Amino acid sequence: MEGSSVNTMGWRIPRISLGLDRENRLMFWGMFFNEAGIGIFITLWPLYIGSLGASPAQIGLIIGLWGFSRLLFLMPSGMLIERVPPKTLILGTRIGAILGFALLSIAQTWWQLFPGVILMAASTASFPVISSVIADVAGRGRARIRAFTMILNVGPSVALLITPALGGILAEQISLRAIFVAAAIFNVAGFLVFRRMSDREVRVQHGPPVTYAEPFRDSGTRTILLLAFAVVFASILGVTLVPNLLQNVHDVPIGHIGFLGSLAAVGSISLGLLLNNLKVFENSMLGFSMAISSVAVALALFVFGQELWIFAIAFMLRGGLLATFSVMYATLSEAAPDRIRNRAYVLAELMAGLGFTLAPFAAGWFFEVRPQLPMIAGMAVLIPIIITVLWMSRSFGGSSSSST
């Protein structure tokens, strides 16, 4: 959808409208730069750790530490949301991310990555409050689904369309360290965007204090939280060491791997727009199953593929992983009662973070047995999850649209 702006000479300049109001437009661009910072290094992250002398198991340890640190910072974030204004919390965590990437860029051995990983993980504490702001600003029903899809899927996917390839170029032309300098710069840009947010008051819940146990007592919320863990664990198990598989088994150059990483964004954008525009996916569980199926097929191609074009298709399908998050959060925002919603967002990050933490350890061990084994294991776990989600979609048919 197009709009227009007027410059000082009275000319109308066409511009693309995101279909979001001012506050969620800032969330869109803030998450764009956040994901750009992640995207420029994430595809080559295992290779960078390995270049500092780490074995496959130690690579899994470092990546798993990132996930474990995310959990530690998420635990108190539920209380912080209820005590610290959203803008202050978001900006504070962005500073931690900037410092973390700077430290990663100067590490000399793999164990020196620990401080940077911990600081980088600190930024996770901002994600529940970002989700809360998106939901509050967007309202309910279809508008909320659109906001989550645009901000947590389409925007980050556009960033990921560019930055993995850029990371591959920087790694080949300069060094692997250069990608972490670029990641810090992208996070500075995100910090400047979030600074333009309106000052919002802390959202106070009336009645007795909300505990983390309450979201698990609500059946709909509990189901989505458990799915968050299972899907992330299986997906991360399968994709974590794909770059190492391509380099060690198939002799794919680093630059090519970076460009392949960008193709994941093509798949994610395409799937996100499909989920956002087809009426059938107002049943968010159907969208969830489609996104998970995309990842499962990608893992199968990584296992059995031999040619570069097959791996290109696999990376496009792997883009379904990012789409699962926007669908999950949109569903959670509708399923969770307002009173427990903030804690539900924190728990969703915790459950996903737990999967993100455990999966790399398993991936490292499996990889040492056989390079394709992590992908086989991830695919084997995802298949029954897909069947379960499709079966559940019958009862979740109106969950995402009930308030429209």
What string of pLDDT tens digits covers the 404 residues of the chain?
A: 444 444 444 444 334 456 677 888 888 899 899 889 988 888 788 888 888 888 877 887 888 787 778 777 877 776 777 778 888 888 988 898 999 999 999 988 888 898 898 898 888 778 878 877 887 777 665 667 677 778 877 788 788 778 887 888 888 888 888 999 999 999 999 999 998 988 777 665 555 666 767 888 887 788 888 888 999 999 999 988 888 888 888 888 877 887 787 787 788 778 877 776 666 666 677 778 888 899 999 999 999 988 889 999 999 898 888 777 777 777 777 777 777 777 787 788 788 878 877 888 888 889 889 999 999 999 999 999 999 888 877 765 444 333 33
The label of the residue with tokens 């698990």 reads: 216
Per-residue pLDDT, 280 = 65
Per-residue pLDDT, 2 = 40
Contacts of 305 (CB under 8 A, 6+ apart): 311, 314
Amino acid identity of residue 112, one-letter, is: Q
**13: helix, strand or coil:** strand
Helix (H) or strand (E) holding 68: helix 56-74
* Domains of the chain, each with CATH number or no CATH: 19-199+211-392 (1.20.1250.20)
Query: In 3D, which of 189, 258, 148 has the Cα closest to residue 35?
Result: 189
Distances (CA, A) of 64 to 4, 72, 126, 307: 46, 13, 20, 30
**Which pair of tokens denotes residue 3?**
């709009």
Phi and psi at 141, nearest 5°, equal 75, -145
DSSP 152: I
Residue 326 CA to residue 70 CA, distance in Å, equals 19
Sign of CA dihedral 107, 41, 93, 228: negative
**Which pair of tokens denotes residue 64?**
């798993």
Amino acid identity of residue 1, one-letter, is: M
